Amino acid sequence: MKVFYPVKENVDVKEIKEALKPFGGRCAKIVEGQLEYQIKEEKESEAHACLKEKGYID
């Protein structure tokens, strides 16, 4: 599944990709101020919590 989240300014997409690896996230990119990536549906909430905890998204 493809997910989209508003991303905070000045984040490094390489760091986000590393954070998503344990959850199977892939193809992360930032498009028009939104983080876009693909992930299996059952891992989506865990990945979202991780990104929020690390301060990449609101």
Please give the tally of structural domains in the chain. Answer: 1
Whether 58 is covered by a domain: the verdict is: no
Whether 49 is covered by a domain: the verdict is: yes
Residue 43's domain comprises: 2-53
- Using an 8 Å Cβ cutoff, are 54 and 5 in contact? no
pLDDT of residue 58: 82
pTM: 0.87
Whether 46 is covered by a domain: the verdict is: yes
* pLDDT, tens digit (0-9, with 9 covering 90-100), for 6-40: 998 888 999 999 999 999 999 999 999 999 999 99
Whether 23 is covered by a domain: the verdict is: yes
Pick the closest to residue 1 from 19, 21, 33, 27 (CA basis): 27
